[in-house]
Amino acid sequence: MSTPSPRIDGRTPEQLRPITIERGWSKHAEGSVLISFGDTKVFCTASVTEGVPRWRKGSGEGWVTAEYSMLPRSTNTRGDREAVRGKIGGRTHEISRLIGRSLRAVIDYKSLGENTIVLDCDVLQADGGTRTAAITGAYVALADAVAWAQGKKLIKAGRKPLTDTVSAVSVGIVGGVPLLDLCYEEDVKADTDMNVVCTGDGRFVEVQGTAEAEPFDRKELNALLDLALGGCEDLANLQREALAATRQ
């Protein structure tokens, strides 16, 4: 690997952007977070309802799902609303499913009991890494919602529906250099782009790598995975700190 050229925003290759996690951003939702990864801002709410979808009734198990969306002017040029077009685009579908799977990886359905938690992740401002910010923020909203449900006795005493934390980060190779947590400008120039979702104990939940320009080899893949594991560890610490603070 060549000596890293300085990044657009002065970060080192293995450095996250400034991360902020504000809990309690909604007076209605059972859990809510405004998370920022630099200029990327995602508003995550967790909504708890008793009961589960029909195909799961009577199982004694809960369900967690997610929906992702971008506000029309969250990006540099305004995009059409999917509601106006009358259908959800492929990218939106894909990311919603990814967020749902990532959170379900740390849920013990039995302990959750027949309750459903829906995570809504709406991108207010986009600057790269919206899906990874969404997963990281949604986990915190989910944790607050689980605590709320425990307080309301919707979850049986002593049950711990959350088996671990989960966080996500993007990594990519830009100009031959593996970088952590790409902003939009870096993302556009990346040869390879990877999103990695990890549990708090450093195991993988999702690894999604895509050769945007040039196929990548095993060595490059390994360098990216190293970066991602470090980034997820940092994010897990920030999640724990945020949750340790008294909810405002």
Residues annotated in a binding site for phosphate: 91, 129-131
Q: Are strands 115-125 and 63-70 parallel, antiparallel or unpaired?
A: parallel
Contact 170, 162 (CB under 8 A): no
205 sits near a copy of itself (criterion: CB under 8 A) = yes
CA 233, distance to chain mean position in Å, is 14
Taking CB under 8 A as the criterion, the residue among 198, 227, 232, 236 binding a copy of itself is 198
CB of 157 to a copy of itself, least distance (A): 26
218 sits near a copy of itself (criterion: CB under 8 A) = yes
Could you count the other beta carbons within 10 Å of the beta carbon of residue 121? Answer: 26
The stretch among 153-161, 172-180, 196-204, 238-246 that binds a copy of itself (CB under 8 A) is 196-204
Which of 156/176 has CB closer to a copy of itself? 176
Task: Tell me the number of residues near a copy of itself by CB under 8 A.
Answer: 65
CA distance 106 to 144: 14
Contact 172, 179 (CB under 8 A): yes
111 sits near a copy of itself (criterion: CB under 8 A) = no
Contact 115, 149 (CB under 8 A): yes
Q: Which residues of 38-64 are buried (b: 16+ CB within 10 A; e: fewer)?
A: bebbbbbbbbbeeebeeeeeeeebbbb
- The identity of residue 11, as a single letter, is R
**Footprint (CB under 8 A) of a copy of itself, residues 16-75:** 26-29, 32, 39, 43, 45, 47, 49, 67, 69, 71-75
* List of residues 6+ apart from 195 with CB closer than 8 A: 98, 131, 132, 168, 169, 170, 171, 206, 208, 209
The stretch among 9-17, 58-66, 173-181, 193-201 that binds a copy of itself (CB under 8 A) is 193-201
Taking CB under 8 A as the criterion, the residue among 57, 78, 110, 240 binding a copy of itself is 78
Binding site for a copy of itself (CB under 8 A): 26-29, 32, 39, 43, 45, 47, 49, 67, 69, 71-78, 81-84, 86-94, 96-97, 101, 105, 118, 120, 122, 124-127, 194, 198-199, 201-211, 215-218, 221, 225, 229
